[in-house]
Structure 1
Amino acid sequence: MSSFFVVNKAWRKSAMTRTYKEIINEMNRVYN
């Protein structure tokens, strides 16, 4: 579960400077 919080924290940080679509694309690469 700790890894989930790390990803969530990184996602929140990325959301400040990157577009939502770019974040989704990156998440898709990580999990697929």
Structure 2
Amino acid sequence: MDGLFFGLMDYLFNFERARKTGHGHRDHARDH
């Protein structure tokens, strides 16, 4: 149960970050 909860929190966190940056995944790849 805890794994599912933390997985959901991680998903929501990434979703919020992606929404703020516009395209989070692409920006992150470009940083590296």
TM-score (norm 2): 0.52
Larger Rg, first or second structure (1 or 2): 2
1:9 and 1:17 map into 2 onto residues whose CA distance is 12
- Which of 4, 7, 10 is residue 7 of structure 2 equivalent to? 4
2:11 and 2:20 map into 1 onto residues whose CA distance is 15
Provide the aligned C-alpha RMSD in A. Answer: 1.7
Residue 20 (structure 2) pairs with residue 20 (structure 1): no
Consecutive unaligned residues in structure 2, runs of 5 or more: none
Tell me how far 1:11 sits from its aligned partner.
Answer: 0.6
Q: Which structure shows the bigger proportion of residues in helix conformation? A: 2
State the aligned residue count. Answer: 23
TM-score (norm 1): 0.52
Question: How many percent identity over aligned positions?
Answer: 4
Runs of at least 4 residues of structure 1 off by over 4 A? Answer: none
